[in-house]
Amino acid sequence: MPSSGVGTWRTSGLSRVAFLVNANAQISSAYIDAFKAATANLSLFGGTYPWRSPDDLVPAFDAMKQADIRGLIICPDGLAFALTALAAILPTRFS
C-alpha cells in the first residue's frame, strides 16, 4: 500500500486494529506473526483477540471496545468463515 494510504488511515482514525483469531486453528500462529509484523511496519496498534468457541466472541468484542479498536481483521479459518455473519453483527453492538 502506498504511504499516502497509511497517512489516510491515521487521519481517519484508523490507528488501532484488532485481529480476531480462532485459537484452535493450527494456522493461527502464522497469521498472528504476520499481523504483528504488518501492524509494526505500519506503526499501528495491533491487538490480538483469540477465541475458542462462539461463546468467546462477545467478550472478545467487549475487550475490543475497551481498547478503542477502530478496525477488525478476522483470521481466515473454517469456523471463522462459518461465523462470519455473527462477527459482522457484533461490532454494531459494541459501537
**Statement: residue 1 has pLDDT above 60:** no
Mapped onto helix, strand or coil, the DSSP state of residue 73 is strand
Three-state SS at 72: strand
Q: What is the pLDDT of residue 81?
A: 58
Rounded distance between C-alpha atoms, residue 72 and residue 20, angstroms: 7
Task: Write the single-letter amino acid at 83.
Answer: L
* Alpha helices by DSSP H, 12-77: 28-41, 57-66
pLDDT at 83: 65
- pLDDT value of position 33: 94
Model-level pTM? 0.71
Q: Is 77 helix (H, G, I), strand (E, B) or coil?
A: coil
pLDDT in tens, 32-86: 999 999 999 988 999 999 988 888 888 998 999 999 998 888 887 766 655 666 6
Kindly give the interhelix angle for 84-93 and 57-66, rounded to the nearest 10 degrees. Answer: 40
pLDDT digits (tens, 9 = 90+) for 6-47: 444 454 668 899 999 988 888 889 999 999 999 999 889 999
Q: Which three cell numbers stand for residue 71?
A: 478496525
Q: Domain locations in the chain? A: 28-93
